[in-house]
Amino acid sequence: METMSTVTGLKSSGDVLFLMLGAVMVFAMHAGFAFLEVGSVRKKNQVNAFVKILTDWSVSTIVYFVIGFPIAYGISFLKPAEELLGKTQGYDLVHYFFLLCFAACIPAIISGGIAERAKFWPQVFAGAVFAGLSYPLFESLIWGKNSSLLQGIFKGIGGAEFHDYAGSVVVHSIGGWIALPAVLVLGPRMGRYIQGKSHPLPISNIPFLALGSWILAVGWFGFNVMSAGNLEKISGLVAVNSLMAMVGGVLAALVAGKNDPGFVHNGALAGLIAVCAGSDIMHPLAAFVVGCVASVIFVYGFHYEQEVLKIDDVLGVWPLHGVIGSWGGIAAGIFGQKALGGMGGVTFVSQLAGSLSAIVFALVSGFVVYGILGKTVGIRLSQEQEYAGADLSIHSIGAYPEDHVR
Amino acid sequence: METMSTVTGLKSSGDVLFLMLGAVMVFAMHAGFAFLEVGSVRKKNQVNAFVKILTDWSVSTIVYFVIGFPIAYGISFLKPAEELLGKTQGYDLVHYFFLLCFAACIPAIISGGIAERAKFWPQVFAGAVFAGLSYPLFESLIWGKNSSLLQGIFKGIGGAEFHDYAGSVVVHSIGGWIALPAVLVLGPRMGRYIQGKSHPLPISNIPFLALGSWILAVGWFGFNVMSAGNLEKISGLVAVNSLMAMVGGVLAALVAGKNDPGFVHNGALAGLIAVCAGSDIMHPLAAFVVGCVASVIFVYGFHYEQEVLKIDDVLGVWPLHGVIGSWGGIAAGIFGQKALGGMGGVTFVSQLAGSLSAIVFALVSGFVVYGILGKTVGIRLSQEQEYAGADLSIHSIGAYPEDHVR
Amino acid sequence: METMSTVTGLKSSGDVLFLMLGAVMVFAMHAGFAFLEVGSVRKKNQVNAFVKILTDWSVSTIVYFVIGFPIAYGISFLKPAEELLGKTQGYDLVHYFFLLCFAACIPAIISGGIAERAKFWPQVFAGAVFAGLSYPLFESLIWGKNSSLLQGIFKGIGGAEFHDYAGSVVVHSIGGWIALPAVLVLGPRMGRYIQGKSHPLPISNIPFLALGSWILAVGWFGFNVMSAGNLEKISGLVAVNSLMAMVGGVLAALVAGKNDPGFVHNGALAGLIAVCAGSDIMHPLAAFVVGCVASVIFVYGFHYEQEVLKIDDVLGVWPLHGVIGSWGGIAAGIFGQKALGGMGGVTFVSQLAGSLSAIVFALVSGFVVYGILGKTVGIRLSQEQEYAGADLSIHSIGAYPEDHVR
């Protein structure tokens, strides 16, 4: 009797610890987003990158608490603390915390695309709409309380539900495909393309870029492994598949990107983005291949975007999170098959359909929100502000104040 | 039978893992203290900041092991390893490790106030006294083996014991209010105030400041959540309240501090400091408010301290940890009430009394220790040493040696 | 009945979580290796340090998955995902992940010794051989499937098996003693010794060095504590002994190294390297002493290596990981004794024998692999490449691109 209640207690506290650790790991990833952007922009926009990411995180926390999580899962937190704690030691609260970390990725992803020329508050507002409304709406359709509808359609078309274990599509592709219209509406930075010719602007700091990539890669194991939701559902396969896709991404980027440190460190992320969807159903060697392909997509996609299409997406978040996120969704439909050593239960058609639906949803969301903001309050710094840099223009201080004394 | 022994084993190893993870997370926060200080001082004092924090940590480890923990909890470790391990897999040891991380915050907090002009060894010695004697003494009165006395008084005055779940008062306010006399005895840095006029000295590196803030914020979830002490007592409410107070701190600092990155990144910490005491009994929205108020206190308190009172507290640790720590203690008495959605069991008067007792204790400790050191061995670098910087004066090397070659 | 299956499930998922957390913590240490090297080399070789560490990690992941882990433990992963998951939720997979993190330390350790003048791909190839073949072979003899042979010999000689709880010898001494021949074959950097006179080359960035040391120290608690392998075997003693050795290392380095920040931050690592072997059987105060001795070895050993023997081992990895790793193996045979407060079960002679066997194994491995590479493809950059720096020569970009525009 006593044993049983101890076991129930252990299970319940184990679940809270499990999700809390996952939440903290993914929360830490936001420091990674910040450093990745800080290293990839010019020095005059570093402070802005930090403040943007932290502000977006904070605003997302509130809107997802009050609006987003209730939309996606039908659970409201507007009741006394004692009821929030309930008999599960506050499991719903840590579940919210964990999933908030996903929702807050949307503005963090976009931030890297629109860097160095966006106005501060319109950007924060857009992030709030995405994290509090658009993302939770799509989330509810795939993972949440309204999933029967859309999943029913996918099942009808492809013979299986759309499978996205940890968000290649729901999180990364949504973020990356929203960023594309944002970047298009905003237009390129001053001096990026002159008379149709490309003039890449130098990045400032590879150690910070590398730090960002490392923080993201480490936290990603929380992103993927804790997507189990409960401790009892933890899977060592998810951990090792994440690892394998990451190293596939690193090695393919090293070769395709000719030893370039930016490609190598973003390559790790490319692999991790691609593996989220099928990390629970692929064989580790398949995950390695998925990661390799992801990095090849990134290296060539980045070049195509920036040099051929002439889209000034500073951190390349559309190819990185958008296109590779879609690739991850589709890849789960290929390498999740039993014939390729996977666990089965997925189909190529359903995965393709789910991935395409996210692209449509994101493009519409992005064009509507950024379109309206662009035509009303305006989303771009003035030429003088952009020239001076977002740090001095918005924050009245540079990243290295001592260096500018005397 | 076998099931029961497995359950007992799981419970016991779960507790050790729980506290070990908490300890490691709070240990990591000390890297955060280091980078926050490194970013906030001038380049000529960065090396010193790193070595100070690591040395204080190391000395605290020893004195708290041999003296402090036994004072606070009556448990001695001077017995064979086998007995230390006992039947609990060394629970007392990880409990010591976790609480050491709190004790070691005292010198780490002070370090930020006295930066850029303190002598090395007297400062280390003072830290040893605080972590090994003063702090454990107060700890024993609130949380430890002597808590019946003082808690009895609080109960008599206010109708409830003084509640400080994770140390807004016991840790942060003690640290911050000890730092005030330390800074006063030490006096301002050369050139900080000239003929009564304030000349703010430039900080060196906002990316390092931001890194420090991020490390602290991430580790803080160990600080608060693992204050449960046992896995079975974990509470998702504590995690989400910490989050809410942090984002409240960020957003209020953003507005009150006019987008200043220093205020924004310290604002996250302000919220987290304030929420420690009542994180287990408040509603998340109340925690948000507590965090907002904390940041307003910091932004205006910092200005008042530095510009009106003309106290050269480099990182503003007195308003940040001291005043906001006290605010956290008091806030638990307000927002912990059932009428405001809280869990109840606290009173405003007891919380006020407990918070005030810490202020008195800390001020006395600080003036005595720094007063004696100041009058005997001296605590301040010579003018030449301060001008050259603590790095060259104490450590014979600057933070960027290659830059000074040729 | 239901309780029993819940308990079995908890135990199994607890084990997977335990090792996964350990693996992630040790994976993060590789960012520490990177920053430690980045801070310790000149700016023109920082990018290369990052890419080397990440590439070595990635290659190690593959070779240890396909070759190394099967060699050491006889478990192959070349079967369908479903079988990999099995009834243990993929325990073998996370076990592989955790132990990979150890194997990948070998190239990471060597990397610091041969920095600033090694060719890229031969170095990657050598790392693959060590992580995929040499290390797993030795691992199998001490911890793995072939341990009966060598351990039988040690038992015959010394009366007990060779005890290396977390790899002072198996990991660190192997890495450090392989690095010695690598450094000798490679020869010193241009300008390091001119006409037999030592000209220390300036390090670039102490904040990055400190960051690396902090990341390593934090992750080390995963390295040592999760070496238990199963949650039920967790030991609080291991955690606190690691802590004690680390602070012993810091304090002894502070004194012996005359406040030098490089020695202080490497001193933490010295203590941690030394304590791995006996962290489960020593008393905390003994661990402190072991850490102090380790740092004294490092401070004087580094000087002796670089100034007397004139070996250009950039980060001092031979004294740090090699010699101190061996000291850790031997120290377990001294301070693990019951007479010194330890848990017993070890003998000085067996520990000495085991430690010496690793030295022989590592020296042979290192001379063979680097000797062959040196005589065939060559392992050293051309003079022009070394002068220009590995960053521009190999990666076509410097660490701070913006600073070199205009």
Residues 342-371 of A with CB under 8 A from C: 342-343
Tell me whether residues A261 and C10 touch, CB distance under 8 A.
no
Residues 118-147 of C with CB under 8 A from B: none
**Cα of B383 to nearest chain C Cα, Å:** 20
Tell me whether residues B260 and A84 touch, CB distance under 8 A.
no
Q: How far apart, in whole angstroms, are the C-alpha atoms of residue B92 and residue C375?
A: 56
Check CB contact of B4 with chain A, cutoff 8 Å: yes
pLDDT digits (tens, 9 = 90+) for C4-56: 888 999 999 999 999 999 999 999 999 999 999 999 999 999 999 999 999 99
pLDDT reading at A406 higher than 60: no
- CATH topology (fold) of C11-404: Ammonium transporter fold (1.10.3430)
Check CB contact of C18 with chain B, cutoff 8 Å: yes
> Which residue from A60, A59, A53 is spatially nearest to A118, judged by alpha carbons?
A53
Q: Which residues of C touch A254 (CB under 8 A)?
A: 51, 55
pLDDT digits (tens, 9 = 90+) for C44-72: 999 999 999 999 999 999 999 999 999 99
pLDDT of residue C405: 66
Yes or no: say if A119 and A378 are a contact pair by the CB < 8 Å rule.
yes
Residues 195-234 of A with CB under 8 A from B: 205, 208, 211
How many CB pairs lie under 8 A apart between chains A and B?
174
Which of B21, B239, B262 is opposite residue A23, by nearest beta carbon?
A: B239
pLDDT reading at A1 higher than 70: no
Mean pLDDT of A272-291: 98
Residues of chain B falling short of pLDDT 50:
406
Q: Which residues of C touch A215 (CB under 8 A)?
A: 31
Which of C3, C204, C231 is opposite residue B400, by nearest beta carbon?
A: C204
Which of A21, A46, A403 is opposite residue B207, by nearest beta carbon?
A: A46
Yes or no: say if C312 and C116 are a contact pair by the CB < 8 Å rule.
no
pLDDT over 90, % of chain A? 97
**Cα of B98 to nearest chain A Cα, Å:** 17
pTM > 0.80: yes
Q: Which residues of A touch B265 (CB under 8 A)?
A: 50, 54
Please report, in tens digits, the pLDDT of each residue of chain C (406 residues total). 578 888 999 999 999 999 999 999 999 999 999 999 999 999 999 999 999 999 999 999 999 999 999 999 999 999 999 999 999 999 999 999 999 999 999 999 999 999 999 999 999 999 999 999 999 999 999 999 999 999 999 999 999 999 999 999 999 999 999 999 999 999 999 999 999 999 999 999 999 999 999 999 999 999 999 999 999 999 999 999 999 999 999 999 999 999 999 999 999 999 999 999 999 999 999 999 999 999 999 999 999 999 999 999 999 999 999 999 999 999 999 999 999 999 999 999 999 999 999 999 999 999 999 999 999 999 999 999 999 999 999 999 999 999 986 4
Tell me whether residues C81 and A259 touch, CB distance under 8 A.
no
Backbone angles phi, psi at B234, to 5 degrees: -55, 145
Check CB contact of C80 with chain A, cutoff 8 Å: yes
Retrieve residue C194's tokens. Answer: 């001119």
Tell me whether residues B402 and C233 touch, CB distance under 8 A.
no
pLDDT band at A156 (very low <50, low <70, confident <90, very high): very high
pLDDT over 70, % of chain A? 99
Can you give the residue ranges of every domain in chain C?
A: 11-404
pLDDT of residue B47: 98
CATH number for B7-401: choose from 3.40.250.10, 3.30.420.10, 1.10.3430.10, 2.40.50.140: 1.10.3430.10
Top residue of A201, A218, A269, A346 to mutate, by most chain C CBs within 10 Å, is A218
Q: Which residues of A touch C128 (CB under 8 A)?
A: none
Check CB contact of C392 with chain A, cutoff 8 Å: no
pLDDT of residue C378: 97
The string of DSSP letters for A346-405 reads --HHHHHHHHHHHHHHHHHHHHHHHHHHHHTT--B--HHHHHH-HIIIIISS-S-GGGG-
pLDDT reading at A254 higher than 90: yes
pLDDT of residue A3: 81
Check CB contact of C40 with chain A, cutoff 8 Å: no
Residues 275-304 of B with CB under 8 A from A: 281-284, 288
Q: Which residues of C touch B58 (CB under 8 A)?
A: 246-247, 250-251
Helix (H), strand (E), coil (C) string for chain B: CHHHHHHHHHHHHHHHHHHHHHHHHHHHHHHHHHHHHHHHCCHHHHHHHHHHHHHHHHHHHHHHHHHHHHHHHCCCCCCCHHHHHCCCCCHHHHHHHHHHHHHCHHHHHHHHHCCCCECHHHHHHHHHHHHHHHHHHHHHHHCCCCHHHHHHHHHHHHCCCCCCCCCHHHHHHHHHHHHHHHHHHHCCCCCCEECCEECCCCCCCHHHHHHHHHHHHHHHHHHHHHHHCCHHHCCHHHHHHHHHHHHHHHHHHHHHCCCCHHHHHHHHHHHHHHHCCCCCCCCHHHHHHHHHHHHHHHHHHHHHHHHHCCCCCCCCHHHHHHHHHHHHHHHHHHHCCHHHCCCCCCCHHHHHHHHHHHHHHHHHHHHHHHHHHHHCCCCECCHHHHHHCHHHHHHCCCCCHHHHCC
How many Cβ atoms sit within 10 Å of the Cβ of residue A383? 10
Mean pLDDT of A360-378: 98
Tell me whether residues A58 and B265 touch, CB distance under 8 A.
no
CATH number, domain A2-399: 1.10.3430.10
